[in-house]
Structure 1
Amino acid sequence: MKITKERELHQLCAEFVESLGIDEASELTADLVQAVLRLAADKPGRADLKMVLRAIKELRFGFKMFQPYRHRRKVSIFGSARTTADNADYQAAVEFGRLISAAGFMVITGAGGGIMQAGHEGAGLAHSFGVAIKLPFEQETNAIIAGDEKLAHFRYFFSRKIMFVKETNAVALFPGGFGTHDEAFEVLTLVQTGRADPMPIVMLEKSGGTYWTQWQTFVKHALADNGLISPDDSNLYFITQDPSEAAAHIKQFYANYQSMRYVDDNTVLRVKYTPDAATLYRLNQQFSDICIQGPITIATAAEAEPAHAPEPHLPRLVLPFNRRSPARLRMLIDEINRVEPPTA
């Protein structure tokens, strides 16, 4: 009886979506409507329904805001809202924003003051997004991004974080408080567990600073030395005091590697150019520990991704990745980025 009612409800939702003329992803849209109706039937509290409603509205606006810029790579910049303009960390963030914008990236910040404003100042308004949080204190939208169409305001940290991570291709962290550490460890956790695609994570501060080196000492002695993380996990982040080195690290990550996708039991890496036979053999020898049921192979887009393959002109590297070693996958990507382009 319950299954029959579920089928009837799904059919009603599908017909409703069709009546609105929604063709793209109509099945998923019907499932979304059905999930909301099932939630209401569970009779949650009014506060729970308001939370779900607000979260959906925030996500919808965020997706809509970023949609026209999906073709542009972006860097999320995190750091203290309390850093003043005369602080060397602020100036480092301005310079980093300028350099990464010149390299073709846009920046995403929390839209507040301090490091967030510095990132926008360096990148310029045309290359900046703001993902603001509504707080009873401290957070005010900076003058650079205020009123811009690329600014969104969020009530919930979790929906805001989705935007920071989902829409970015790299992360730059500057010294900050609890919020900066929350964002740092969240991004590291998502990449470490494979819940986010590999991306460069740079930790940058003023020349002569000790903020990130002290952080690294804690990570090494309290976490790595006690077996709480893998020694390879240190490859997931990069510490520097030079904005140009930070920008170069991010650009190098996309020198050859472009993006990835899981297809059945395989991990498909989209690249500009493939390694020669000798290099491919070396990669298979070096990374055999993360491959199950076969070696790394070269394929076309049609062979590797038979359905809905973006960037069909790019060749693919296909590996039966064990999905338990994202840090080693990052090391593989670094090796792929060292592959020399073919000579004309």
Structure 2
Amino acid sequence: MVDNGLNRALDDAISQLIANHGGGHDTDYVKHLIVTALGLGQDKTSTLDLKIASSALKEMREAFSMFDPYADRKKVTIFGSARTKKDDPLYLHTQHVAAELAERGWMVVTGAGPGIMEAGMVGAGRDQSIGVSIRLPFEASANPIIAGDGKFVEMRYFFTRKLMLMKDSQAFICMPGGFGTLDETFELLTLMQTGRGAIAPTVLLDLPGDHFWQTMDTFVRNELLPRGLISASDLGLYKVCETTSAAVAEIDNFYRVFHSIRFVGKFLIIRMHKQISETYLHSMQAEFAHLRKQGLFEFCEPTPQEIHTNDNLDKSRFKFEFVRNDLGGLRSLINRINQAD
């Protein structure tokens, strides 16, 4: 049993350490990090596990710092194969969609490697590109477009790299690829399906007439859906496209009226670029009743929590008690919101 006096002494020592060196920002979370680190030592955690925890935290800090100056810029992540050659039509297809999005003000985030990742950066240009690479013995750390740039970070672990490729982006384009690309694509869909990641436009982009993703979509519809392994509404979490114009339109249309969501207590708050009419909100009540635990969709003002963090206070919003187990249905609601005049 740990002496309470020792606990108090440790708490005081940590608090003093934070006061002197912690920067004064979100000190409770900084204290939790220190306490957890000390706990790993007290648990006699193995050297390998300590190394994993230490390295992961260190590289996440570096990545957070790299992304921070671009927090207010809209970002699209492009996933795809490192093996795609420059003379492959997929390379040019990727380059074109990245260029179209960059022209609309999007920064393009990729894994900073060769192939599709390089093509996305060629299309966006160095100034509009962010790279998050993985250290591999058989692959260069960064392609020449982003190498040496301040908007590039190298990661040791795939799980920390995937976190950074997904966490700060508001749209995703998945090009054809191998095991790594499929892993990224299905993790992205899983995060949205389970509510662990924000709903975002996700385009699976094929070449015209080359049905890589269309074949996957057919498999999902013919094998997963009939077995009850996914819900019909989950099919709305992604869209298969063949043209760059269709891909860009899917992303643009997602943010036509809809802006973002935030959970506050028992309510889901939907923020919008413009106010929808009372009549339009009423028209959605019955259609999407299955998404509500109880009550109705109700227009609201910014919550105290949003005001405290200055979170999009200029946006129109409505709230409801979300059932939380139908994120595909939430995507359908967003689509309906975006149809408002």
- The answer to whether TM tops 0.5 is yes
Tell me which amino acid in the other structure corresponds to 1:44. T
Instruction: State the partner residue of 2:75.
Output: 74
- What are the ranges of 5 or more consecutive residues in structure 2 without an aligned counterpart? none
Are 1:2 and 2:8 an aligned pair? no
- For 1:218 and 1:269, the matched residues in 2 are separated by 33
SS of corresponding position for 2:191: helix
Instruction: State the partner residue of 2:254.
Output: 253
Q: Report how far residue 50 of structure 1 moved.
A: 1.0
* Structure 1 residues 241 and 35, CA gap change in structure 2 (3 angstroms): same
Asked if the contact 1:274/1:317 (under 8 Å) is kept, the reply is no
SS of corresponding position for 1:77: strand
> Structure 2 matches for 1:212-251, cutoff 5 A?
212-251=213-252
Q: Report how far residue 306 of structure 1 moved.
A: 5.0
Q: Report how far residue 135 of structure 1 moved.
A: 0.9
User: Which one is further off, 265-274 or 12-21?
Assistant: 12-21
Q: Report how far residue 159 of structure 1 moved.
A: 0.6
Deviations 1:28-55 (A, max 9, x none): 1111111111111111111111111110
- For 2:9 and 2:170, the matched residues in 1 are separated by 42
Are 1:36 and 2:37 an aligned pair? yes
User: Which one is further off, 138-147 or 6-15?
Assistant: 6-15
* Structure 1 residues 140 and 65, CA gap change in structure 2 (3 angstroms): closer
- For 1:6 and 1:164, the matched residues in 2 are separated by 39
Q: Report how far residue 250 of structure 1 moved.
A: 0.7
Sequence identity of aligned pairs in percent?
Answer: 38
Tell me which amino acid in the other structure corresponds to 2:57. I
- For 2:304 and 2:17, the matched residues in 1 are separated by 37
- For 1:94 and 1:58, the matched residues in 2 are separated by 29
> Structure 2 matches for 1:246-285, cutoff 5 A?
246-285=247-286
Are 1:104 and 2:132 an aligned pair? no
Asked if the contact 2:307/2:313 (under 8 Å) is kept, the reply is no
Tell me which amino acid in the other structure corresponds to 2:67. F
Tell me which amino acid in the other structure corresponds to 2:122. E
Q: Report how far residue 139 of structure 1 moved.
A: 4.7
SS of corresponding position for 2:286: helix
> Structure 2 matches for 1:1-344, cutoff 5 A?
1-2=1-2, 4=4, 5-20=6-21, 22-302=23-303, 305=306, 307-340=308-341
User: Which one is further off, 235-244 or 308-317?
Assistant: 308-317
- For 1:56 and 1:6, the matched residues in 2 are separated by 25
- For 2:109 and 2:224, the matched residues in 1 are separated by 30
SS of corresponding position for 1:153: strand
Deviations 1:77-96 (A, max 9, x none): 10111111111111110000
CA RMSD of aligned residues (A): 1.4
Asked if the contact 2:80/2:117 (under 8 Å) is kept, the reply is yes
* Structure 1 residues 68 and 293, CA gap change in structure 2 (3 angstroms): same
Q: Report how far residue 7 of structure 1 moved.
A: 4.5
- For 2:135 and 2:107, the matched residues in 1 are separated by 23
Q: Report how far residue 68 of structure 1 moved.
A: 0.2
Tell me which amino acid in the other structure corresponds to 2:271. R
* Structure 1 residues 298 and 137, CA gap change in structure 2 (3 angstroms): same
How many residues end up aligned between the 2 structures? 340
- For 1:254 and 1:288, the matched residues in 2 are separated by 23
Asked if the contact 1:98/1:122 (under 8 Å) is kept, the reply is yes
SS of corresponding position for 1:286: coil
- What are the ranges of 5 or more consecutive residues in structure 1 without an aligned counterpart? none
- For 1:304 and 1:254, the matched residues in 2 are separated by 23
Asked if the contact 1:304/1:318 (under 8 Å) is kept, the reply is no
Q: Report how far residue 311 of structure 1 moved.
A: 1.6
Deviations 1:63-115 (A, max 9, x none): 00000000001111101111111111111100000011111110110111110
Asked if the contact 1:89/1:206 (under 8 Å) is kept, the reply is yes
Q: Report how far residue 6 of structure 1 moved.
A: 4.2
Tell me which amino acid in the other structure corresponds to 2:31. A
Asked if the contact 1:133/1:139 (under 8 Å) is kept, the reply is no
Deviations 1:194-248 (A, max 9, x none): 0001101101121111101111111112211111000111100011110111011
